[in-house]
Amino acid sequence: MSRRVLHSGSVLDVRSGDVRSADVVLADDRIADVGIGLDGDEGVDCTGALLVPGFIDCHTHVCFGPAGVDALQLPRSARTLSAVPVLRTLLRLGVTTVRDAWGADAGVRLAIENGWIEGPELLLSLRQVGTTGAIGDVWAPRTGALEFYGDPSLPDPIFDGADAGRAVVRRMVQAGADWIKVTASGSMALGIGVHDVHLTYDELAAVVDEAHRRGGRRVMVHAHGARAAELAARAGAASVEHGTYLDEAAVAAMADCGTWYVPTLSVTQSDPEHGPDGAPEAHRESMRLAIEAGVRIAMGTDGPVRPHSEVLRELSHLAAAGLGEAGAFRAATIDAARLLGLAEDRGEIAVGKRADLVVLDGATLDCAAMEERLRQVFHNGVEVVR
- DSSP string computed for 252-321: HHHHHHT-EEE--THHHHSSGGGS-TTHHHHHHHHHHHHHHHT--B-----BTSS-GGGTTHHHHHHIII
Q: What is the pLDDT of residue 200?
A: 98
Per DSSP bridges, beta strands 260-262 and 139-140 are unpaired
Determine the average pLDDT of the residues in 6-17. Answer: 98
CATH match of 3-53+348-384 with 3.40.50.300: no
Question: At 198, is the pLDDT very low, low, confident or very high (cuts 50, 70, 90)?
Answer: very high
Nearest to 320 by CA among 374, 266, 246: 266
Question: In the predicted model, what is the mean pLDDT of the chain?
Answer: 95
pLDDT of the residue at 274: 82
Pairwise pLDDT comparison (73 vs 305), residue with the higher score: 305
- Considering the entire predicted model, what is its pTM? 0.96
154 has a pLDDT exceeding 90: yes
Q: What is the CATH number of domain 55-340?
A: 3.20.20.140
The set of long-range contacts for 79-85, using a CB threshold of 8 Å and a minimum separation of 24, is: 79/103, 80/104, 80/105, 80/107, 80/108, 83/108, 83/117, 83/119, 84/117
Return the closest-CA partner of residue 242 out of 220, 222, 219, 212.
222
pLDDT at 142 over 80: no
Q: What is the pLDDT of residues 53-78, one digit of tens each?
A: 999 999 999 999 877 777 777 888 88
Each residue's pLDDT tens digit, 93-132: 999 999 999 999 999 999 999 999 999 999 999 999 999 9
Average pLDDT over residues 160-188: 97
Give the residue extent of every domain in the chain. 3-53+348-384, 55-340
